[in-house]
Structure 1
Amino acid sequence: MSSNLYSIGLSGLQSSNARINTTGQNTSNVDTEGYSRQRTDTTSSPVGGVVLRDTSRLVDNFVSSQVRSDTSTFSYYDTYHSMISTSDSLLAEDSISLNTYINNSFDALQTVNNDPTSSSLRQLAHSSLSNLVQQYHTLSGVVSDQEGLVDAQLASSLGDLNTITTKISNLNEQILRQEGLSISPANELRDQQELLAKDLSKYLDIKAQFNDNGLMTIQLANGQPLVMDQFPTELKVSPNPLHPKKIDLVVSFGDYEVGLKTQGLGGSVGGLIDYRSEFSVYADRTLGQHAIALADAMNTQNKKGLDADGQFGKDLFSLGDINVYSTADNLNKAKEISVRVSAGQSAKITKDTYELNRTDDNLFSIKKINAEGKSTDKAITFDPSLLQKDNNGYFKIDELGLDIRLDGIDKIDKDDVFQFTPTEGAAAKLGLVSKNGEAIALSAPIGVSTGSDNLSDARVSLTSVTNTDPETSAFSSDGSLYPSAPHKIYFTSPSSYVVQNSSGVELAKVENVIEFSNLLEKAGLSNEAGFDVSVSSMPKRGDEFSVGTDNIGQSDNFNGLALADLQNQSLIDGKATLVKSFSGFISYVGSKTAEIEGHADSSEIVMNESIARRDRLSAVSLDEEAVNLLKYQQSYSASAQVVTAARTTFETLLGIMR
């Protein structure tokens, strides 16, 4: 009996000692990050006493998984918000607002219209346009600087991320070795591994699982493996020849690499990539579309007037080359393709990427792809051999507002893919090519006059100038009207008139006129003439009105007023003015920032609640450990008394035997 009592007491001592050690371990690690409270379990022995089982960590894998998921979500929105809030504060700053510079430029144009002969006012208008161009560069620089910051942070994050996955893999090896040599679990190593997994979730949305050997494996939310037992992978940025500005990731397994979907990555890496692909690309293309619309509209209108030297106006602005990209094996072919915005067609230019490919021996197709990689419209199919080329070899795709030149058309094979984005980087490439204010074409290229012998009070006025191209209008290359062009309108009655050329030959006859605006349009001549005229009231029989280049006044501002009125035209996508479009962009940035900020705040609350839930189970409570320590001390003392009693009983029995 005493022998049994002795073993019972001894097992109690061992049990209490083990639990005191566990309590001491918990207490000493109360401030250790990632430490999980431990508990030593026991069971009663069928022969008496207590049997020690193992010392386990008090963790709930579901709760730990939720902490990682919520940490990833918060890190995603926090990173995204830190980037977009910086962009918001910079772009919305009044001192660099594009609208301020747009208004200043058009105000200067209005001022010079008051005195087109003033060189100083012309130079002031030119300086305002120069400042506007610089502001496009400044705003484009804000976007590109943020892109550079994203690239730097992403490179740093991937370095840290790959270090963490390597450490998790190494810990798997240590855990396997330690637990193979002992019956006790490697609790401290597993705590370190859990903490590393939580740190990893700050970068990516991950799933941590355990294989049959109890070793941690890490997968992305989409199932892509990052840690397989003792074999880590490496996450790297991969260049994309079709989309040089796009961030592509690959997972390297050492001998080979696998492309990674960048959608829904979560964590700070996902936040950086989504900021770059969603906001940064959108901002760059929005500014580019804005710059293209301004340059195209101003250039087109300036060519419809005469500059200070009496010459047809030329381009005020320049647009940079549109880059054409292709796959790595087709880069040389991409150099054979040139693209530009068709003159006067910028309203058709969207922020989409355009994909060009050859469909068969003769046909090519172009389709538009949005930022999400989805086609936005039906593909445009064309045969280049059937399209008329200009002197530079460009042919026009009217539906898209683009001119294309295919120099090496025979080198392009079927199913070769080429992509270009007209708005990409366009704001940074915008330039002012006019040397001074004298290049601003304020005057109309044609004048009108009312016959001195007219019987009515009707006065003629120039209504519009739509085309001054010598090949397609009534204007010759030296600025004069072709003899065959409309030169005179003669009213044969108050409601009928004829249009005559310079020799008096009748070009058209119009009868039953009740409204006297756009007389050449009514005669069917406005398109080929490139201009139109109106009279103020009903003429009388015999009234005549002349048009010609000899009737232009030095102070004429007809085209200058048209230039200034571009501020009120829907130039952007044919739907919004320059000011309204930029205001809409700033409003979008503000609302997007507020949206992301709201998600960041709410996700932080959810994350903290998950952490608190985990701590309630796994964190060390000094009050609880103090109670346990007292209990196990008392148990130890009681077990020692049992051992003492067993020894006394045994000694008594020995004494009796003697």
Structure 2
Amino acid sequence: MSLLSIGKTGLYAAQAALATTGNNISNANVAGYSREVVVQAASTPMGGTNGYIGTGTQIAQVKRYSDDFLNAQVRTAQASSSGLDAYQAQVQQVDNLLADTTSGLSPALQDFFASVQNLTGDGAGVSSRGSFMTSADTLAARFQSMNGRLDEIRKGVNTQITASVTTINTYANQIAQLNDQIGKLTDPSGLNPPNELLDKRDQLIMDLNKQVKATVVPGDNNSLTVSIGNGQPLVVGRSAFQLAATNSPTDQTRTTVGYVLQGKITPLAESSLTGGELGAALQFRTQSLDLAQNSLGRVAIAVATSMNDQNHLGLDGNGKPGGDIFTIASAQVTKNVNNNQTSTTAITASVVDATKLTTSDYKVDFDGTNYNVYRLADNKKTVISPFPQAQAQVIDGLAFSVTGAADAGDNFLVRPTQAGASNFKLALTDGAQIAAAAPIATSVPLTNSGSGKISAGSIDQTYLGAPLAGPVTLTYSTATATLSGFPAGQPVSMTVNGTTTSYPAGASVPFQDGASYTVGGMSFMLNGAPGNGDTFKIAPNAGLGDTRNASLMADLQSKNILDGGKATYQSAYATLVSTIGNKTREVQANAEAATSQLTQAQAAANNVSGVNLDEEAANLLKYQQAYQASGKVMQIADTIFNALLQIGH
């Protein structure tokens, strides 16, 4: 090959190197761009017995600097960082709502029980009854407003899921199209793919990981296979599969994610979709939002149930037995839309013991033989037995009643507490309906000769089944040291120093100083030394000026009612605030760590694929000199050729 041709190959190579370097500089700030370098190789030399002489250079390839391992680390870090940032933004809203010292639940509870205590201060007068009604209505409004805000956040999660699914589908289609284009534009050797399209595809996959964690596996002809969740393929070659935002089969108000295959949508397990904004939305809803709403509803149900029960044990301002103060939400039961439509199964769940309520939802399914109740918080299984039921089966304070027939696999979702706060409302319409007085009154006649005393007395739920129709007079006999005159046909129990002894109806009941007696749901204490024939009277109360039942209502504030008698209303709520607060701080710390990890991973990847402008500037000078040198070779070749022509003349 002539010297002119050698110079020409060098000129072309330098020109390509200059163009590639210029392209690197121009795209230095383009997201996802990987630097390129022209790789040269020596052309096949010519020669024979006297040796081989080079014939110039050629461009072997335009190499794209990108490390698959480092890129995978960046994708993983990106999915984690984006997910934690999104989770933090969501849980922070709940934390701010619950912990607010002004608009949170704690101030409203304190104000309400302050008004209950005020009832005892002025003998349950008109003023204190009005204050009670106002604070009770304020408490109901606070429960409803907080639950309404949680509902708004829940709707926002649904919107986020729908938007993420749309974005993921768009990315999947674009990646599949790029797989197709890259495959068509790659030469058979595979050494010269379209680098810019590879960069664009990698950036799309990076953006995809901002929505959900995706796994990437190399395929044939420079294609990539992308999968999510438990291995569900999203992109295979030039084919893209689709996700769908769909309503949960057991809760039509809850948006979840389904996988579309042959026109059929199959719901994906929410726990399988991790990372990115989609994974964060699903995780936040399950771990924090559901917990917050169920916990708030549980407190509302406990307040309503215990206050109603205590009001039932008193007399209102009109001398009538007390009714409900607050409305109590019923457990929500929804059936799976995929159940056999001919099934006749009906399920109800009612709160019978608020002290045992949990914050979990429940699933009831039929396995072909038995109905089973699963507590979703820990998947604890309880079999409904016997079936058919003679009476409802109580599980965690809920009475489950199941009737009808189902097919194997049919299932239902039971949410006992989620609507507790939204349906917490004031049931009273008049302050006079507050049952501040106890329904019984005790007295000791002035004619008694001894020092015997009887306490004011109290009642329990048993009393409501057979209230006093008239006065009961207990008479003491010194000869037998016993009491007589207890209501006919009712057994009596006596408790002394924690030991209880039961006596059948009509039996003699001994008197003992300081003993407590219970009969027909009424309890009272006798002490002192009564004389022979001394009497103690128990009679229906008129209700006016008596605030003993109001005092018992006020005591509920400090009574351990929830968690099986281990937590008060406010301590249960404080536990919720603490749990969400701790989760918020945990997510915040993890988000900061994930951001740091992402920065480090990106730095490592950029060391390989990033454009260094200083290096590129140096390369410009190097390739400029190579270009000039190759031009000089061609100039010399021209001079030699002209000299040869002169010799010929």
Superposed pair shares fold, TM > 0.5: yes
* 1:8-28 CA distance string (max 9 Å, x none): 322222221211111121122
Give 1:445's match in structure 2, choosing from 439, 446, 449: 439
Deviation, 1:649, is 3.4
* 1:427-458 CA distance string (max 9 Å, x none): 10112111121111111111112133322222
How far, CA to CA, are the matches of 2:124 and 2:96 in structure 1? 42
2:634 alignment counterpart: 643
Asked if residue 138 in structure 1 is aligned to residue 134 in structure 2, the reply is: no
How far, CA to CA, are the matches of 1:585 and 1:357 in structure 2? 30
Q: CA RMSD in A?
A: 2.7
Asked if residue 498 in structure 1 is aligned to residue 483 in structure 2, the reply is: yes
* 1:67-86 CA distance string (max 9 Å, x none): 11111111001000111112
* 1:592-638 CA distance string (max 9 Å, x none): 11111111111111111222222222122221111111111111222
Contact 1:572–1:578, Cα closer than 8 Å, also in 2? yes
Give 2:473's match in structure 1, choosing from 465, 488, 491: 488
3-state SS in 1 of match to 2:21? helix
Asked if residue 7 in structure 1 is aligned to residue 15 in structure 2, the reply is: no
2:548 alignment counterpart: 558
TM-score, normalised to structure 1's length? 0.88
Which residues of 2 match residues 255-404 of structure 1 at below 5 A?
255-263=263-271, 264-328=273-337, 329=339, 336-342=346-352, 345-357=353-365, 364-370=371-377, 374-376=378-380, 378-379=382-383, 381-387=385-391, 396-404=392-400
3-state SS in 2 of match to 1:202? helix
How far, CA to CA, are the matches of 1:273 and 1:376 in structure 2? 22
1:593 alignment counterpart: 584
Amino acid of the structure 2 residue aligned with 1:172: N
Deviation, 1:384, is 4.7
Q: Specify every segment of 5 or more residues in structure 2 that has no aligned partner in the other structure, as ranges.
A: 46-53, 491-504
3-state SS in 2 of match to 1:17? helix
Contact 1:324–1:334, Cα closer than 8 Å, also in 2? no
1:163 alignment counterpart: 170
Deviation, 1:543, is 2.5
Contact 1:367–1:380, Cα closer than 8 Å, also in 2? no
How far, CA to CA, are the matches of 2:74 and 2:206 in structure 1? 8
Amino acid of the structure 2 residue aligned with 1:17: Q
Which shifted more, 45-54 or 141-150? 45-54
Deviation, 1:277, is 1.1
Deviation, 1:289, is 0.5
How far, CA to CA, are the matches of 1:330 and 1:134 in structure 2? 41
Q: Specify every segment of 5 or more residues in structure 1 that has no aligned partner in the other structure, as ranges.
A: 388-395, 521-525
* 1:180-211 CA distance string (max 9 Å, x none): 59974211111111111111111111122321
How far, CA to CA, are the matches of 1:128 and 1:78 in structure 2? 39
How far, CA to CA, are the matches of 1:44 and 1:360 in structure 2? 76
Deviation, 1:168, is 1.3
Deviation, 1:358, is 5.2
Amino acid of the structure 1 residue aligned with 2:551: L
Deviation, 1:125, is 0.6
How far, CA to CA, are the matches of 1:494 and 1:462 in structure 2? 27
Deviation, 1:251, is 2.0
How many residues matched?
Answer: 622
Which residues of 2 match residues 182-221 of structure 1 at below 5 A?
184-220=192-228
How far, CA to CA, are the matches of 2:531 and 2:387 in structure 1? 54
3-state SS in 2 of match to 1:462? coil
Contact 2:332–2:419, Cα closer than 8 Å, also in 1? no
Give 2:73's match in structure 1, choosing from 66, 79, 95: 66
How far, CA to CA, are the matches of 2:95 and 2:455 in structure 1? 48
Which shifted more, 592-601 or 493-502? 493-502
* Residues 178/553 of structure 1: CA separation in 2 closer, same or farther (3 Å cut): closer
Contact 2:187–2:193, Cα closer than 8 Å, also in 1? no
Asked if residue 455 in structure 1 is aligned to residue 449 in structure 2, the reply is: yes
What percent of counterpart residues are identical?
A: 29
Amino acid of the structure 2 residue aligned with 1:214: N
* Residues 382/100 of structure 1: CA separation in 2 closer, same or farther (3 Å cut): farther
How far, CA to CA, are the matches of 2:37 and 2:595 in structure 1? 31
Contact 2:439–2:543, Cα closer than 8 Å, also in 1? no
How far, CA to CA, are the matches of 2:362 and 2:255 in structure 1? 19
* Residues 504/188 of structure 1: CA separation in 2 closer, same or farther (3 Å cut): closer
Which shifted more, 133-142 or 7-16? 7-16
Amino acid of the structure 2 residue aligned with 1:74: S
Deviation, 1:103, is 1.1
How far, CA to CA, are the matches of 1:494 and 1:20 in structure 2? 124
* Residues 410/616 of structure 1: CA separation in 2 closer, same or farther (3 Å cut): closer
Deviation, 1:412, is 4.1
How far, CA to CA, are the matches of 1:410 and 1:429 in structure 2? 29
Which residues of 2 match residues 34-53 of structure 1 at below 5 A?
34-47=32-45, 48=54, 49-53=56-60
* Residues 356/23 of structure 1: CA separation in 2 closer, same or farther (3 Å cut): closer
Asked if residue 507 in structure 1 is aligned to residue 496 in structure 2, the reply is: no
Amino acid of the structure 2 residue aligned with 1:233: F
Amino acid of the structure 2 residue aligned with 1:480: A
Which shifted more, 252-261 or 76-85? 252-261
How far, CA to CA, are the matches of 1:70 and 1:326 in structure 2? 40
How far, CA to CA, are the matches of 1:79 and 1:377 in structure 2? 34
Contact 1:324–1:335, Cα closer than 8 Å, also in 2? no
Deviation, 1:147, is 0.9
* Residues 79/256 of structure 1: CA separation in 2 closer, same or farther (3 Å cut): same
Contact 2:331–2:415, Cα closer than 8 Å, also in 1? yes
How far, CA to CA, are the matches of 2:480 and 2:645 in structure 1? 148
* Residues 498/333 of structure 1: CA separation in 2 closer, same or farther (3 Å cut): farther
Deviation, 1:156, is 1.9
How far, CA to CA, are the matches of 1:398 and 1:530 in structure 2? 24
* Residues 256/377 of structure 1: CA separation in 2 closer, same or farther (3 Å cut): closer
How far, CA to CA, are the matches of 2:422 and 2:342 in structure 1? 25
How far, CA to CA, are the matches of 1:649 and 1:495 in structure 2? 148
* Residues 117/90 of structure 1: CA separation in 2 closer, same or farther (3 Å cut): closer
Deviation, 1:651, is 4.3
Contact 1:246–1:277, Cα closer than 8 Å, also in 2? no
Contact 2:444–2:453, Cα closer than 8 Å, also in 1? yes
* Residues 413/196 of structure 1: CA separation in 2 closer, same or farther (3 Å cut): closer
Contact 1:37–1:620, Cα closer than 8 Å, also in 2? yes
Deviation, 1:38, is 0.4
3-state SS in 2 of match to 1:51? strand
Contact 1:351–1:421, Cα closer than 8 Å, also in 2? no
